[in-house]
A and B are shown apart, each in its own frame.
Chain A
Amino acid sequence: MLFGITWDTSNGDLAFALSILPILLRGMVVTIQATIAGFAIAMVLGLIFAVLKSVPLKIVSWPTIVITEFFRDTPLLVQLFFLYYVLADYNIILPAFATGALALGVQYSAYMAEVYRAGIEAVAKGQREAAKALDLSASRTFTHIILPQAVPRVVPALGNYLVSIMKDVPVLSVVTVLEMLGVARIIGDQTFNYLVPLSMVGGLYLIMTLVASALVRFVDAKLPKRGLPFK
């Protein structure tokens, strides 16, 4: 029994599968929540890192480069343990889910910063020059001229990370987040049937990643290629 739902182990695999499906779906909801939270954190933090990296002051850009390199080159599990156990030593106690989402967000923000940077640099040089000739401020140029043109270019690459984040969520089970794979393992441990729940997790993951990819393609198709419009 898990989440108050009991399973049926005496009427064959199909009945067993049907009985644990609601339990796995509960786990799937957590997986989706963690994916969305991690992705949102990574998108915002990644953009901030991309901006800080491009600031022409070394005192700002260098620490940012070091920090993002660190995030990129250390395993997700290390960052997760760090947030979960080390911060607790300093009395910063985050709930397991928040810790997991933050670890995912931090790690992927480092990747996304690179994507943003490439997208920003790909905006034609003449756009900055025209903005300067019109005397637009640096921040206005970034928010109203550069970024709206960079966003449609980066959506496909950011979308790929959405799927990657989803596939990394099972790592969160080590800090007791009850996502889908963790749930399946508990069912296996208790019923001695791993084949059915794990196969179901595989199938559900396949459906989730297909949907996520389709969503990204949809958003990509909806965005005007010339840039986000301003009224």
Chain B
Amino acid sequence: MSEPIIKFEKVVKSYGNYRVLNDLDFEVARGEKVTIIGPSGSGKSTVLRILMTLEKINGGVVSVGNEPLWHEQGPNGLVPAREAHLRKMRKQLGMVFQQFNLFPHMTVLRNLTEAPMSVLGLSKQDARERAEELLQLVGLADQLQKFPNQLSGGQQQRVGIARALAMRPKVMLFDEPTSALDPELVGEVLNVIAKLAEEHDLTMLLVTHEMRFAREVSDRVCFFDQGNIKEQGTPDELFTNPKEERTRAFLKAVLEG
């Protein structure tokens, strides 16, 4: 395995007295496709949200590309990161949300060009070309003047994926990207994600309950339970031959449910 692009070292996250992440150690290699599964409330979203800088950590160190995410180097060691550091680090990550979170007052095109123009400084023309390429990729090239509420859930989520990709992140985070969709729309979104998974350089971290899909696209599957990784391995190892009783119980419940 090459050097990790993401590294959690003894990371603690609490809400009041409740520890959501409990001394979590977790690494993702450059270009690796990792799926996180586990029961509701086990801390899966929290891992992604910490990486996207939407949630602070209470202990430990998170690194992205060998640089601390939530800390920066002070004269006497690591100090909490300031906004300028977070803004720099965020550029390496993109996130796809369960509820899409598209900007409802902007057209599809504008959803895709807003950040590349205002953050990366792309010209209108360049941002538009980039947007059109990405919409082609997700199969929505003809929808660029629509508003989000004129699209189906599956189409909205594909726009959400394209919007994140427009920033050219090194790491893509997917938090249950198909959980809010009607069953018949799940496939079109998974197809797009599968296509992305073929990109060698892109690191992907995916939280999902779609076990069959996880098996197809991931290099590694991590089973989360009570704020830590209970078991991990290749999809074959984890799905065919789980060692932990908790993993077996979870898989049984999901596959039967």
Chain A residues with CB under 8 Å of B147's CB are: 226
Q: Give which listed residue, A126, A144, A224, A226, contacts B97 with CB less than 8 A.
A: A126
Among residues of B, the one whose C-beta sits closest to the C-beta of A138 is B83
Chain B residues with CB under 8 Å of A137's CB are: 87, 118-119
Q: A129-B54, A129-B97 are in contact. Are A136 and B103 (CB under 8 A)?
A: no
Chain A residues with CB under 8 Å of B164's CB are: 133-134
Q: Does B143 contact A (CB under 8 A)?
A: no
Interface size bracket, B side: 20 to 34
Chain B residues with CB under 8 Å of A164's CB are: none
Q: Please state if B105 and A136 are interface contacts (CB–CB under 8 Å).
A: no
Stretch at the interface among B74-82, B88-96, B134-142, B195-203: B88-96
Q: A228-B105, A230-B106 are in contact. Are A136 and B99 (CB under 8 A)?
A: no
Q: Please state if B99 and A224 are interface contacts (CB–CB under 8 Å).
A: no
Closest Cβ of chain A to B22, distance in Å, is 24
Q: A133-B90, A133-B94, A134-B163 are in contact. Are A226 and B104 (CB under 8 A)?
A: yes
Chain A residues with CB under 8 Å of B163's CB are: 134
Q: Please state if B105 and A227 are interface contacts (CB–CB under 8 Å).
A: yes
Q: Please state if B105 and A224 are interface contacts (CB–CB under 8 Å).
A: yes
Q: Does B101 contact A (CB under 8 A)?
A: yes
Q: Does B53 contact A (CB under 8 A)?
A: yes
Chain A residues with CB under 8 Å of B83's CB are: 138
Q: Give which listed residue, B87, B104, B149, contacts A135 with CB less than 8 A.
A: B87
Within 8 A of B (CB), among A112-160: 124, 126-127, 129-130, 132-138, 140, 144-145, 148-149
Q: Mark A198-228, 1 if CB is under 8 A from B, else 0.
A: 0000000000000000000000000010111
Closest Cβ of chain B to A192, distance in Å, is 59
Chain A residues with CB under 8 Å of B119's CB are: 134-137
**A171 to B117 alpha-carbon distance, docked (Å):** 50
Within 8 A of A (CB), among B129-154: 147-149
Q: A129-B101, A226-B147 are in contact. Are A136 and B115 (CB under 8 A)?
A: yes
**A135 to B168 alpha-carbon distance, docked (Å):** 12
Q: A132-B53, A132-B54, A136-B114 are in contact. Are A148 and B105 (CB under 8 A)?
A: yes
Within 8 A of B (CB), among A177-199: none
Within 8 A of A (CB), among B103-123: 103-107, 110, 114-115, 118-119
Chain A residues with CB under 8 Å of B106's CB are: 229-230
Q: Please state if A135 and B105 are interface contacts (CB–CB under 8 Å).
A: no
Q: Does B52 contact A (CB under 8 A)?
A: yes
Q: Please state if A132 and B167 are interface contacts (CB–CB under 8 Å).
A: no
Q: Please state if A135 and B101 are interface contacts (CB–CB under 8 Å).
A: no
Interface centre among A127, A134, A145 (most CB of B within 10 A): A134
Q: Does B102 contact A (CB under 8 A)?
A: yes
Q: Give which listed residue, B52, B105, B110, B167, contacts A226 with CB less than 8 A.
A: B105
**A144 to B115 alpha-carbon distance, docked (Å):** 11
Closest Cβ of chain A to B143, distance in Å, is 16
**A140 to B93 alpha-carbon distance, docked (Å):** 19
Chain B residues with CB under 8 Å of A149's CB are: 104-105
Residues of A within 8 A of B (CB): 124, 126-127, 129-130, 132-138, 140, 144-145, 148-149, 224, 226-231
| Contact sample, A vs B, 26 pairs, CB 8 Å cutoff | A127-B101, A127-B103, A130-B101, A130-B102, A132-B52, A132-B90, A133-B52, A133-B54, A133-B94, A133-B95, A133-B97, A134-B115, A135-B115, A135-B167, A137-B118, A140-B118, A145-B103, A149-B104, A149-B105, A224-B105, A226-B105, A227-B105, A228-B105, A229-B107, A230-B105, A230-B114
Top 5 closest pairs, chain A to chain B, by CB: A227-B105, A134-B115, A130-B101, A126-B101, A226-B104
Q: A132-B90, A137-B87, A148-B105 are in contact. List 11 more A-B contacts (CB 8 A).
A: A129-B52, A130-B101, A133-B90, A133-B95, A133-B97, A135-B91, A135-B119, A137-B118, A224-B105, A227-B103, A227-B105
